[in-house]
Amino acid sequence: MSVVLHQFDDNAALSESLAECIASGLEGAINLRDQATLAVSGGSTPKPLFDAMSHCDLDWSRVSVTQVDERWVPEEHADSNAQLIRAHLLQNNAAEARFLSMKVAGDDVFAAEAACAEKLAPFAEAIDVAVLGMGEDGHTASFFPDAEQLPAALDPDSRALCLGLRPPAAPHDRMTLSLAALLRSRQLYLHITGEKKFAVLEQALAGEDATELPIRAVFNRDEDPLEMFYAPGS
């Protein structure tokens, strides 16, 4: 198991530190390849992180941003992660970034897999920086326990960049990057806040069954470790 845990007193300190790490990774990619790719997660947890990242001094015009996963709803829907990213990340300095949302035409998320993969072609090789979250059920990305599509999503040898998934309990079908795509990331971070999630993380670290707690699937990286950033507040 290859993980590193960084703990902070509060989410503000965490957000500033993680934003600096992300910006450094993106800047390094720009220096090497003249461009960089970033995949971020949605939900309420990353809002302070996005706000901090939006002020980072970086050539954002050379950064392409996408989502780790998305609820399959119109982009103007209140539950859309794309709307959250636009409102909190793609502001200030980061307004210059190129945003490629996962959402494509069509209501059927499974029928949209090929079109989504084509849209996200810049992310098909190694993503420079990916930032994951985690739910209290142990899911990350849209790898939900007991989902019918979970084995395909967690296949480390999958050639799929993204795939549709239907959570057994959570609302809305989802489009998610595959585990294989996330494990190829040059830098992979896990961002969690709150004591309940930390208890789930500790449980996950103590076991191996990724179908029970899918976050376990990202613990084993071939090269660089998974870096986990935690603060007790929400």
**In the predicted structure, residue 206 carries a pLDDT above the cut 80:** yes
Confidence of residue 1 (pLDDT cuts 50, 70, 90): low
Q: Tell me the residue type at 78.
A: A
What's the mean pLDDT when you consider all of the chain?
Answer: 95
Q: Tokens standing for 133?
A: 């979250």
Helix (H, G, I), strand (E, B), or coil: what is residue 12?
Answer: helix
- Which domain range does residue 162 map to? 3-231
pLDDT digits (tens, 9 = 90+) for 92-143: 999 999 999 999 999 999 999 999 999 999 999 999 999 999 999 999 999 9
Check residue 234 and give its pLDDT: 62
For the entire predicted model, the pTM comes to 0.96
State the alpha helices, DSSP H only, in 55-159. Answer: 81-88, 113-119, 150-153
Helix (H) or strand (E) holding 230: strand 226-231
Beta partners for residue 188, in sequence order: 130
When divided into structural domains, the chain yields a total of 1
Asked whether the beta carbons of 164 and 175 are under 8 A apart, the reply is: yes
Q: Tell me the residue type at 223.
A: E
**Whole-angstrom Cα distance, residue 113 to residue 109?**
7
Helix (H, G, I), strand (E, B), or coil: what is residue 183?
Answer: helix
Residue 209 CB neighbour total at 10 angstroms = 11
State the alpha helices, DSSP H only, in the chain. Answer: 11-33, 47-54, 81-88, 113-119, 150-153, 179-183, 195-205
Segment 208-221 mean pLDDT: 92
**In the predicted structure, residue 169 carries a pLDDT above the cut 90:** no
Asked whether the beta carbons of 6 and 224 are under 8 A apart, the reply is: no
Domain CATH code at residue 213: 3.40.50.1360
